[in-house]
Amino acid sequence: MVDQASHALIRQAPDGLMEALTARLGDQVSPEFLQCQVEVCTRVCGPVSEVREDLLSLRQTVIEVIAEFGLSLVAASTHPYAIASELEHTHKTRYDDLAQDMQQVVRRLLICGMHVHVGIEDDELRVDLLGQAAYIIPHLLALSTSSPFWEGENTGLQSYRISIWDEMPRTGLPESFDSYAEYQRYVDVLVNAGIIEDATKIWWDLRPSERFPTLEMRAPDVCTSIDDAICIAALYRCWLRMLYRLRQDNQRWRRYASTLIAENRWRAQRYGSEASLIDFGRGELVAYSSLIEEMLELIRTDAEHFGCVAEVEYARVILQRGTSAQRQVTVYQQALAGGADQRQALDAVLDWLVAETMRIPT
């Protein structure tokens, strides 16, 4: 949440702000670690059209409510020039404990991420798909990137958020487990040792949710465009169903070494959708555009099953016009070329972010 006049992130949430949001949105809205952040969550949805409708309603309502406090909403994973150390965290027990435990690491946590839950009630199936689905994490991260700037600098990365997030413990790619019992033993070791209270403090890119019977993807940046967010959610859901179909036919997606997947994750973080990623079967770099086409072919049956062919194929639109990160950098470079100084160019980026966040998809 930024001040409408200055574009600066607010240090403290105004009195009554969260109460006003809760009055409109109930338990679908909550404060986050920093007081300048607000978290929204959709209801449990069936068709992807329900996700779109709910997410759009949430975003529009937040925009309306915070405008009454002189604020604008920015849907992105970093603010272009805010200084993390100048902001104040939300004072509640969970966040106070986190600040005490993580110290300087958490004081840099001026980032936002997008989480996608897909319902899988069977514990063994969730853990089985956990190890296989990690392969696709870099591909989905690349489509979502929205954090090229950090504290006034063009970082040269499409998702600088990942660099900040990876300073936290228990982040990155998930471990592979042969059974749900093995996963639970891992959690129990950390809980019994007093390191964590529960599995909500396991912050992998992909994890079995502790609160819901879901496999939760946490890798993507926040999408400035709702269309982009819906596309990524639909791709992830379809990919999991494709893996499930393989299982039904006594097949499975090959589990690749996490160190190899991490190479693709870095390339997605650095280059976004302009990346070429490693095709492990061929043993060579392949243009991301080609990999997307292969992905769409693999999940075509699943997209038809869920009625979301148009949503998954929107990935081609993202590739053609660029992710939020690419578009932010273009706005920045054009402003500099037009004679703006660095701060003016960054303010131009913020103007674009606010406008794009408010844009209603057609």
Instruction: Give Cα separations from 337 to 31, 128, 154, 341, 345 (angstroms).
Output: 39, 51, 15, 9, 9
Provide the 8-state DSSP code for 201.
G
Instruction: Give Cα separations from 279 to 11, 275, 319 (angstroms).
Output: 44, 12, 19
Instruction: List the chain residues with pLDDT less than 70.
Output: 362
The DSSP-derived string for 91-128 is: -SHHHHHHHHHHTHHHHT----B--EEEE---HHHHHH
* Residue-wise pLDDT tens digits, 73-123: 999 999 999 998 887 877 777 777 777 777 877 778 899 999 999 999 999
Of 27, 24, 28, 36, the residue nearest 61 (C-alpha):
24
pLDDT at 26: 96
Backbone angles phi, psi at 207, to 5 degrees: -155, 150
Contacts of 26 (CB under 8 A, 6+ apart): none
Domain, as residue range, for 10? 2-358
Rounded Cα–Cα distance for residues 230 and 240 (Å): 16
How many distinct structural domains can be found in the chain? Answer: 1
| First-last CA distance in the chain | 25
pLDDT at 153: 95
pLDDT at 61: 97
pLDDT at 362: 66
Alpha helices in 108-217 (DSSP H): 123-133, 137-144, 160-165, 180-192
Q: Enter the pTM of the model.
A: 0.95
Rounded Cα–Cα distance for residues 286 and 278 (Å): 6
Judged by DSSP in three states, 266 sits in helix
Instruction: Give Cα separations from 355 to 41, 48, 63, 358 (angstroms).
Output: 22, 24, 11, 5
User: Which CATH number characterizes residue 346's domain?
Assistant: 3.30.590.20
